[in-house]
Structure 1
Amino acid sequence: MKTNCVVVPCYNEEFRLPVKEFEKSLAEENNLSFCFVNDGSSDQTLKILNELYQKFPDKVLVVDKKQNAGKAAAIFTGINEAFMWKNFDILGYLDADLATSVEEYSRICSYMNENIIFVFGSRVRRIGSQIKRKLHRHLIGRIFATLSSTMLDLPVYDTQCGAKAFSQDIAKKIFADPFISNWSFDIEIFFKFMNIVGKENVEKRAKEIPLEAWRDVGDSKVKFSYSLKLPFELLRIKKYYKKKY
């Protein structure tokens, strides 16, 4: 069974962090560990994370960033701290509210093999699934996803789902350099992956997996004003990675 570390970025999650769900997964999943990154929280998030560490010291790593640097930086830090912590076969990340459950994360990881080295969830609403998303966020998300897919020139449905996992080797390459965007870093992951494996090999080495369940939890930390800037942000990202590689 492959060892797996999930990075969880946390910013003021005192009342959103589903501690019982994390405890259940830590108790039942022998090969699963968590790296929680406290991203400069001003509430009791760090205290809660340290309590989790006290209960599961061999399976929990708590990284405390004194200043809030944003989700992209938190995940970047967490993945690299996980490299130094243990020799994991798979590394990935989930949102702190577990909008995608740990069970769903484990399911998408089961698709990984020698050929598939990058997997990610996709919030596709369909009969038989339980995808619960607020209408306005769904509409904004679809516009963003369409722009992203067009810019990447890849048939990807959902670039922004907060459930992604990588083989150790590809994670080391993708997370070698910091991201340039704080909230659109998922797009950067696809650009980096495409540049590493070659555009012609993306569909052979990556797999997008429709989630069975996903729930919109609380309010987004992304301001609406930022959504108006997204097209320009995407162009900036594309220009950067075309120039870099």
Structure 2
Amino acid sequence: MDFGLFDLVQLLGALVVISFLLILLTAHLSASKMVGFRRHEKEKCFLTEEGKREEFPFLQTPHSRELTVVVPAYNEQLRLPVMMEEAMEYLENRQKQQSSFTYEVIVVDDGSKDKTTEVALGYTKMYGTSKVRVLTLVKNRGKGGAVMMGTLSSRGKLILMADADGATKFPDLEKVEAALQDINPKPENMAISCGSRAHLEKESVAQRSVFRTFLMYGFHFLVWFFCVRGIRDTQCGFKLFTREAALRTFSILHVERWAFDVELLYIAQCLKIPIAEVAVNWTEIEGSKLVPFWSWLQMGMDLVFIRLRYLTGVWRLQSREKAD
């Protein structure tokens, strides 16, 4: 039996349709309606410097600090002190210079197996719970889940997510703050300012292997094609939110692993929340939790699933009720 070009095209077309249906089915079956939104009883409280338990506030309540810094930390007992020393020095100096400036740092221990919580509590004892609080998650949720839980427990008018490795220098906060003001978040006070490493891309490419460079550009293409347009670096862990923008976006968030930044920005763009992107100083720190191939593969799958789940209505752009 002859097998012509037309038959081949039909076969390829059928394979494409079947593959798409399988991906769509997988996206539906693996979707969770409210991923990790409810918190364990132990996650509702923090320890004071005297060792007493007090409840965290909710993001829905009015702010009582000018700035909250949320630091997700998983097995970071070695790298966390370097970041905290720099952050606290900057924040304390700023408070001395600006008497009206108030802040808090929330270190979120994402189910670590080392002494991350003990190290973080050392800063609570040093500065008090008015300035440093530790949220210890019962089990590992992933970076997105840790940032979400810290954000939902914050008191700041502005909320900054900052990585525990200290790769971004803390004084760059002033750059992202200025960019936030430039996009004029009024009248609903909705705005997001993202630190960016895009200006360092040529230098980083020169230092990477061809394979890792291919993965990086492939990921950037998938981000652009499926989810977020106009933001060159979605993954930099230095992002500043107004309290209102944080509430609106984090109360919808589903992805708890590495691709959560993309979903956050996708939600923001869908809701027409203004987003700024500003260059920041960044240094690669040893000890990354990313596994080069498998982490990129997981993020790529997440990007496809994010778009499909919102397009098909499995996930909706609707805020959930108050966290329990």
Question: Under a length normalisation based on structure 2, what TM-score does the superposition of the two structures give?
Answer: 0.65
Q: Kindly indicate whether the alpha-carbon contact (under 8 Å) linking 1:93 and 1:163 is maintained by their aligned counterparts in 2.
A: yes
- Give the aligned partner of residue 28 of structure 2: none
Aligned match of 2:133 in 51, 57, 61?
61
SS at match of 1:215: coil
Structure 2, unaligned stretches of length 5 or more?
1-64, 96-100, 318-324
Identity %: 25
SS state of the match for residue 232, structure 2? coil
**Pairing 1:15–2:94 present:** no
1:77 aligns with 2:145: no
Name the structure 2 match of 1:117.
191
Are residues 184 and 191 of structure 1, via their aligned partners in 2, closer, same or farther at CA, if it must alter by over 3 Å? same
Q: Label 1:208 to 1:139 Cα distance change in 2 as closer, same or farther (>3 A).
A: farther
State the Cα distance separating 1:189 from its structure 2 match: 0.6
Q: Counterpart of 2:78 in structure 1: which amino acid? A: F
| Residue 147 (structure 1) aligned with residue 210 (structure 2) | no
Alignment deviations for residues 127-163 of structure 1 (CA, whole Å, 9 cap, x no partner) = 9xx9899524565333312321222351221111111
Alignment CA distance shift 1:97-1:126 (3 Å):
closer
Determine the structure 1 residue equivalent to 2:9: none
Corresponding position: 1:156 with 2:231: yes
Please give the alpha-carbon distance, in whole angstroms, between the structure 2 residues aligned to 1:23 and 1:39: 21
State the TM-score, normalized to the length of structure 1.
0.85
User: How far apart in 2 are the matches of 1:74 and 1:22?
Assistant: 19
1:191 alignment partner, one of 229, 247, 266: 266
Greater gyration radius: 2
Unaligned runs of 5+ in 1: none
Q: Would you say 1:180 and 2:255 are equivalent positions?
A: yes
Per the TM alignment, residue 181 of structure 1 is displaced from its structure 2 partner at its CA by 4.4
Which residue number corresponds to residue 40 of structure 1? 111
RMSD between aligned residues: 2.5
Alignment of 1:218-237 (within 5 A): 218-223=286-291, 224-237=293-306
Q: Across the two proteins, how many residue pairs are aligned to each other?
A: 232
- Amino acid across the alignment from 2:227: L
Q: Which residue of 2 aligns with 1:101?
A: 169
Q: Which moved more, 1:16-25 or 1:58-67?
A: 16-25
Q: Secondary structure at the match of 1:166?
A: strand
1:216 corresponds, among 284, 289, 297, to 284
